[in-house]
Amino acid sequence: MSLHLWLAYTGIIIALIAIPGPSALISMSHGLRYGASRATATVLGGVSAAMILMSCSALGLGAILAASTTAFIALKIVGAVYLIWLGIASWRSKDMSTAEQDTQEASALGWFPLFRKGFLVGISNPKDLLFFAALFPNFIDTSAPHALQLIILAVTWAVFDFSIMFIYACTGRRLSGLFSNPRRIKLFNRSTGGIFILAGTTLAASTR
């Protein structure tokens, strides 16, 4: 892979990853509630999901999903239900300050529950398989070995995905001072819940 091709790929994925979506939202939400260091687990969960989706796409599952309407619909429904459930849970969260949440919840939550949430949000959209299947061929030099190029593309994505999502988590932590009273935290919970519900219903209604 040439440097020119890699730089073009890097520019495109930075723009794509930076666009706020469910993974960015949950990273920011966990950064606000539990701090940036704990939200690192959430970010790693999302990055791990992206790596799995890339691997599946490279193995040809993206093409299979594109050809199988039944498989696509089934995965889409599962992902949509999870996002909607996450939205409802956020909407119904207790209206306590972030400081109280940090004290009561952060001590109760270990690393894995945060990682799991980030992972499930990241892997909930089967359209990402189709996206990676469509993206990668544009940056593969057919005259060079494919395996090394795919590894470079995946590692590059992982580095920028982690960095940008961690920035979202840090931003959430910076905003925690704005949510020091129950009314504001209620607004935040319902806003994030509404966005997740909207993302889930949009996914459910989407086509390939």
The CA distance from 2 to 140, in Å, is 10
User: Would 195 be classed as within a structural domain?
Assistant: yes
Is 16 part of any domain?
no
Residue 8 covered by a domain: no
Does some domain include residue 23?
Answer: no
Q: Has residue 2 been placed in a domain?
A: no
Find the radius of gyration of the CA atoms of the chain: 18
Within a domain: residue 141? yes
Q: How many domains does the chain fold into?
A: 1
Quick: pLDDT tens for 100-122: 555 455 555 678 999 999 999 99
**Structure tokens belonging to residue 160:** 């920028």
Handedness of CA 201, 124, 160, 14 (dihedral sign): negative
pLDDT over threshold 50, residue 134? yes
Q: What number of helices (H) and strands (E) belong to the chain?
A: 10, 0
**Prediction pTM value:** 0.80
Q: Tell me, what's the pLDDT at 101?
A: 53
pLDDT higher than threshold 70 for residue 11 = yes
Instruction: Answer yes or no: is 188 within a domain.
Output: yes
